[in-house]
Amino acid sequence: MDTITQAAQKRAIADPFSPRAFTFIDLFAGIGGLRLGFQGIGGHCVFTSEWDRFAQQTYQLNFRDNHELAGDIREYSADPTLIPDHDVLLAGFPCQPFSIAGVSKKNALGRPHGFLCDTQGTLFYDTAEIIRAKRPAAFVLENVKNLERHDGGNTFRTIMNVLENELNYQVTARVISSEAWVPQKRERIFIVGFREPTDFDIRKLKLPDPAAGPKLGSILQPHEEVDAKYTLTPRLWEYLQAYKAKHAGKGNGFGYSLFGPDQVARTLSARYYKDGSEILIDQPGKRPRRLTPLECARLMGFETESRSFRLHGSDTQAYRQFGNSVVVPVVEFIADAMKPYIEAAVVGDDARGRAAA
């Protein structure tokens, strides 16, 4: 029996029939991409917040929980006592524009300067309020790559200042692209923090070689299994070709992208349901087609040979949900790397609790 399992049994943090190593909460949960990674290393989810009702339905279809799904996170950041204590906080918070006109002199000097002022009105503020109130041993935040460059870098500097200087966490961040795990180039920033000093540094993780990653053929369904409705109509295909030709004449690369089975796709977006133009699958002798929802589930790493993911609702909702999600194998990689450090934090909290008693 390993140390982390012993700690789980001592603390009885889950039901007695299914002990788990640590507890976590899943904020801005979407359809559970972050959860899958940390559930996979033994975590037990004790609280979930997701405001979109369609994403909630898909989440509930795939996760059997002992808690109801919460909606708007602002109700809970206003009163964090409504959220159970937990070891790890997960949050794929949306990147709304931050209401800051620049970096203050204090921020430039690396001094705390009050996130209530600099980030209020954003959903990062709500995340930070929960971290401040609940003091989890660790957190993982996920966002778009552009977070680092937003407002000339001011947004990211403000976020890091809040996490490091005001909330007093040891924080590292890194943009990771997904093509080493799935046939899609999807770059996202992951921000990892630990409450107590640790040697964990996400920037130092050795990533798999992207050149050795899978190609689209590994996730595509056989032609005979793909419904004809996913093939573009003549009118839409004509429009997309004309649109691309018009912009090519202006010297830019706007327009559709066509991929074959030996290639790696662009980023799947939440707008994919509109025309599928960012990832069209070549069908020699025929008009190209969109990815099917099942192929999107595979492209995002939700559906694998060892894991089935159930879809709920229309194709439109499936495309939106996958386009807004994280690539699960990337999260699993980060979770695996964090596991011994979470273990040490959990055991350390147990020891401090016993000493205080």
296 is catalytic: no
Report DSSP letters for 318-336, one per residue: HHHHHHTS--HHHHHHHHH
| Cα→Cα distances 38→41, 127, 316, 335, Å | 5, 18, 28, 6
Residue 184: closest CA among 291, 305, 31, 312 = 291
Between CA 351 and CA 336 the distance in angstroms is 24
Q: Report how far residue 119's alpha carbon sits from residue 117's, in angstroms, rounded to the nearest whole number.
A: 6
Q: Are 167 and 114 in contact (CB under 8 A)?
A: no
Read off the tokens for 75. Answer: 């109700």
- Residue 244 has φ and ψ, to the nearest 5°, of -65, -40
Q: Quick count: other Cβ atoms within 10 Å of Cβ 116? A: 11
**Cβ distance 154 to 103 under 8 Å?**
yes
Q: How far apart are CA 304 and CA 322, in angstroms?
A: 15
Cα–chain center distance at 356: 36
Residue type (1 letter), 117: C
Cα–Cα distance, 163 to 39 (Å, whole number): 24
Quickly count helices (H) and strands (E) in the chain.
Answer: 13, 8
Of 45, 95, 117, 296, which one is the catalytic site residue?
Answer: 95
Written as six digits, the tokens of 236 are 């839409």
Q: How far apart are CA 106 and CA 161, in angstroms?
A: 10
Dist CA 16 CA 65 (whole Å): 15
Active site residues: 95
